[in-house]
Structure 1
């Protein structure tokens, strides 16, 4: 089409056809080469861009696929020091003795109540041979309490159980035989989820553990039972509201301290019998400046609706504010002196049983350790 138009123009202008052909053909060839190169160049650019796009897409998918692996590597890398520290100082489970102690309590209770003909009641606890000669029910466990549980070797425990024993008399009634102590060897096996226990022998009756004399408390000054001290007066008013339902606790507590009264109200009235504190003897009746703290050990006689009176002791923390004392804490336990420790009381022991009566078989329960 282009050549036809050029020929027509040459004919109109009477140009020599051959010269025109000689000059126009290379030009056309060059133009075609340019067009072809441009076309090839575009195609090459498009292919290159397509290749880059595919490469970027592949890289993105590779990054996504490797994400979990990278996260796991980061997790193990960050937790490695903590795992190493845990191995160096393993945590001690405070409840590890709960299972053996509970098992020993059940075993001792079943042992005391078993007798001739009921030996099979001990089978869940002890698989050894047992032959009892006294009647079943000769003794009964009113209450049992594990006093000590020690792991003497892995999975092997020595448990001491205190029992309030009732003994059956010849007339058929039961009398209080006091608190007696039995020691049991318990083996345990299993994981934290499922554990199994067994006694290695019958219980051994042992002597009561030695009693301790408590160390000095952190209340060196006695205030008696008078209420001339504003701190004592605040303590008395607070306890009246706390256990006798007389007044609102918020009237006697520091701002931000939230305590709830005992419900249902167990007593109708209280009487202050003794107050000890940690302040100087010359702490007068004047309330000090704001923020001064004081610890009180308060003893009361609480009377119920039937007229029965019961002694109680409370450890309180007081803080001065706006010219008066306010209760800032109801302490979990009385404070002890910084250097005070309990000591063994001379010639004394924990509660123990009186002389045990003879069993119908003529033998008395063994004593000693």
Structure 2
């Protein structure tokens, strides 16, 4: 009876299954990519702005030339300039600010450095207002990307003519953290002067002034024959002597480097040094704008080295320095 009951219910189960609608599997939609997630692939308007402004300036010399035709293709509603007797010639264009206005809409400020009139040139005897000047122009751009893949189509347009704007304001110089004059004949001043002389190629052996594990490639194109130190200032109190091992100090050196042609180059170098075995060693080439630690650095405290991680030679490298660990690997 159980077997016959099972056989009898089979067709009923099949009919019920066919009559019931398929179950719907709901999936969560993929989250839309945010603008911040595509920062590496977002349009860069700076190059288009430089290209357009260069064509716009050149089109003023020939209304039917190639520059004017390309300008019309990029911005159909923008009129080219018309130059008079003296034609301003752009020597260099550099985008200095890109400001996003909306989705795909940008305002880009481009600095234009104009060529200076050549002395004695008969057709350029009279200097113009743009002669050797730097002027700033803001351009509106609209850019659209057709895809994220390499080589995807991109379209852009300049909807209006450039506008000349004021130059960026110049800020006041920040207060220098280097307020202590390093004595001229102190070990610190001697080490800094000798290192920079060797580093800039006037002498050899810059590596002997570096701390163990520190690599600081020298500029290969430098052809300086002499280095004169004008002033060395330290961040924090120091008399220039190397105290206990691990003591750290930061200095900024103002120098004059002379080349083989008689040129004099005023240069500034910010260095970090560490005391070891009674001498100073270079541990970092810095920018000079690093934030000062909460506690003043001194040449006779080893706690500064422990805070900054310089005791092992594995601190974060600065402008051009790299450090190696105890296993000889680049940190």
Above 0.5 in TM-score?
yes
> Of the candidates 306, 328, 351, which is equivalent to residue 283 of structure 2?
328
The answer for the alignment partner of 1:313 in structure 2 is: 268
Residue of 95, 106, 112 corresponding to 2:57:
112
Equivalent of 1:217, from 171, 176, 180?
176
Task: Flag the structure with higher helix content.
Answer: 1
Q: Could you say which structure has the larger radius of gyration?
A: 1
Secondary structure of 1:213's aligned partner: coil
Is the CA contact (8 Å cut-off) linking 1:187 and 1:199 kept in structure 2? yes
1:286 match: 241
Indicate the residue corresponding to 2:106 in structure 1.
157
Number of matched pairs: 252
Relative CO higher for 1 or 2, CA cutoff 8 Å, sep ≥ 6? Answer: 1
Question: Which has the higher mean CA deviation after the structures are superposed, 314-323 or 127-136?
Answer: 127-136
Unaligned 5+ runs, structure 1: 1-79, 340-369
What SS does the aligned partner of 2:199 have? helix
Q: What is the match of residue 252 of structure 1?
A: 209
Question: How far did residue 143 of structure 1 move?
Answer: 0.8
Distance of aligned partners of 1:264 and 1:147 in 2 relative to their CA distance in 1, 3 Å threshold: closer
TM-score normalised by structure 2 residue count: 0.68
The residue number in structure 2 matching 1:230 is 187
5+ long unaligned stretches in structure 2: 1-27, 295-331
CA distance in 1, matches of 2:34, 2:103: 19
CA contact (8 A) 2:188 2:241 kept: no
Change (3 A) 1:327 1:106: same
1:267–1:95: structure 2 CA closer, same or farther, 3 Å change rule? farther
Match of 1:93 in 2: 39
Distance 1:265 1:117 in 2: 47
**Deviation by residue 1:1-44 (Cα, 9 ceiling, x = unmatched):** xxxxxxxxxxxxxxxxxxxxxxxxxxxxxxxxxxxxxxxxxxxx
Residue 51 of structure 1 aligns with which residue?
none
RMSD of equivalent CA atoms:
3.0
Deviation at residue 228 of structure 1 after TM alignment: 1.5
